[in-house]
Structure 1
């Protein structure tokens, strides 16, 4: 089985779960990269936010967030905020790579968009709107690995709260979003949204025709129009679907079931430490509207041999210093 680089993200909703929405993600990153789990309390921003490569304009409150993030960058692979919103992103490769859509040019990383969405949103739908507005204004791109300037890509996102989830898939500044109100869904490293979507970028159809990606007559299929020929992660995507089906059969899906999915090595979803692109961190969140949401992080590589540690947002929350990269390693980034 092909084991392409990058990650897998999952969500399960009622009636497949009995206690809210359950989100899970593995973050597969270059070998040797440090992924830290960090907490930032709520704050106020009055001008701009300095992201990994560029600054974005913003004035307003920033929500308290807990993030699982590569230590060298500003953004995050996955995380949660105090309002019960969670976001994870995936690398996707598309055919829309010229000019303002060139993923190698330094703009907003997908990981920056994860953090910006968490810091500014009170719901999954609001996070979707924040991310897509930023995407259309600033674009996405830039090296996504500290030691490999050639690793760059577009992004897909799974955004959830205690009542709904969104799959957001992008190609440059173009995007579509599908709302998930029940059942389960997963994403890997290919575009998965085809002809059914609930929102889209304002000039999507005109742009696709102008670029010669779509003839304007056939049914518009986002995955086919923008996906090109390279579809990495398809095997893991299918295996993830199988695992979700297996563990949700009894309509009693729990966080331990998400742990088991994310620990599954045979599928390639969990990648060991000796892999060139190991699973460097893992998150599971149980999102509830009637009790505190619980966010579980490994803060260590390879979830199959790691323990998930719980976190709940409380006033004056404190996390262990052992999940944070030493200060001298990241002092030159604005975190």
Structure 2
């Protein structure tokens, strides 16, 4: 997931279907998110960037750092100040739905049915040639390209449906705080635990008025129920956010002709490490954990209130907000120390 200086935001989910996933070298969904954000200044342009790259290079490859293979196709939720799109893929084939209103979510299953606003030129013909669609009945992308009666679809369907229910419950009155509350929901599976834990969360406010800034809240840490959503605004002179940047390591040493690192390097950033240590405290020392949780919740409320003031007053002091995220990280670190 991510955002750029033009107010384009993209979220990405793994999906599976009838089409085999390429396990050779290709573009990961995360690559496509980054490239879409790098090259587009609107949501629809980001969609075009992604499908063009998909056609040229394909998608696939192992998404795990370990030796265990984990491959999938991708779905994307793409938004800017004016419009939003859902893009779902199966190999090089894809369908896109323009979101006309209400609420919309994606979650580990194909969800575009008969409302298709853009599509791969061979989408229907390919399905027909594989016997997935008879060419007569109305074309339903999810029904055509999805697995039939599998446990994976049943499980994923539950998470998707629960997410939609949580959004629909607040339709017409969704605030950044409500979105954070939904992302923290563990019962629905939105906030995932276990082997595939939620590793970071993001909420973006994209005002339609061009004079108001887009505000993005990032945790930078796993389990949003125990994390601070920290505000970030794109302004000139933003410096690298060192305490939430994963350390970089060199490639193979050309002189010694052997890897510089014999074991897997620690790629956690400073805030991530402190947050993990604090999570242990929250689990084992209940009173101290409650106090710590209370402080990070107060910090978050303070920052949300500050951002609401900016949006209400329409006044943005770029010198004040240039270090907005970094300062919030420092305040969070103090709570953990």
Q: How many angstroms apart in 1 are the aligned matches of 2:179 and 2:31?
A: 25
Q: How many angstroms apart in 2 are the aligned matches of 1:180 and 1:106?
A: 32
1:252-273 C-alpha deviation (Å, 9 max, x unpaired) = 211001000000111111124x
Q: Larger relative contact order (C-alpha < 8 A, sep ≥ 6)?
A: 1
Q: How many angstroms apart in 2 are the aligned matches of 1:176 and 1:217?
A: 19
1:49-73 C-alpha deviation (Å, 9 max, x unpaired) = xxxxxxxxxxxxxxxxxxxxxxxxx
Q: How many angstroms apart in 1 are the aligned matches of 2:63 and 2:8?
A: 24
| Match of residue 214 from structure 2 | 293
Residue 8 of structure 2 corresponds to residue 81 of structure 1: no
Residue 109 of structure 2 corresponds to residue 190 of structure 1: yes
Q: 1:105 aligns with which of 20, 24, 27?
A: 24
| Closer, same or farther: CA 135–243 of 1 in aligned 2, 3 Å | same
| Match of residue 238 from structure 2 | 317
Aligned positions, number: 246
Q: CA deviation at 1:289?
A: 3.6
Residue 89 of structure 2 corresponds to residue 170 of structure 1: yes
| Match of residue 91 from structure 1 | 14
Structure with the higher strand share, 1 or 2: 1
1:219-255 C-alpha deviation (Å, 9 max, x unpaired) = 211111110224141111111111112222xx22110
Q: How many angstroms apart in 2 are the aligned matches of 1:303 and 1:242?
A: 19
- Aligned to 2:205, the other structure's residue is in SS state strand
Q: 2:132 aligns with which of 208, 213, 216?
A: 213
Match runs of 1:164-313 below 5 Å: 164-229=83-148, 230=150, 231=153, 232-248=155-171, 251-272=172-193, 275-290=194-209, 291-313=212-234
Answer yes or no: is the 8 Å Cα contact 1:163–1:181 preserved in 2: no
Answer yes or no: is the 8 Å Cα contact 1:107–1:139 preserved in 2: yes
Match runs of 1:113-128 below 5 Å: 113-128=32-47
1:135-183 C-alpha deviation (Å, 9 max, x unpaired) = 1111101001111442000000000001110000000010000001321
| Closer, same or farther: CA 319–309 of 1 in aligned 2, 3 Å | farther
Structure with the higher helix share, 1 or 2: 2
Q: How many angstroms apart in 2 are the aligned matches of 1:113 and 1:184?
A: 24
Structure 1, unmatched stretches of 5+, are 1-77
- Aligned to 1:83, the other structure's residue is in SS state coil
Q: CA deviation at 1:300?
A: 0.4
The runs of at least 4 aligned residues of structure 1 exceeding 3 Å deviation read none
| Match of residue 79 from structure 2 | 160
1:174-221 C-alpha deviation (Å, 9 max, x unpaired) = 000000132110110010011111010011111111122212112211
| Match of residue 319 from structure 2 | none
TM-score by length of 1: 0.71
- The Cα RMSD (Å) is 1.4
Q: CA deviation at 1:103?
A: 2.5
Structure 2, unmatched stretches of 5+, are 253-337
- Aligned to 2:56, the other structure's residue is in SS state helix
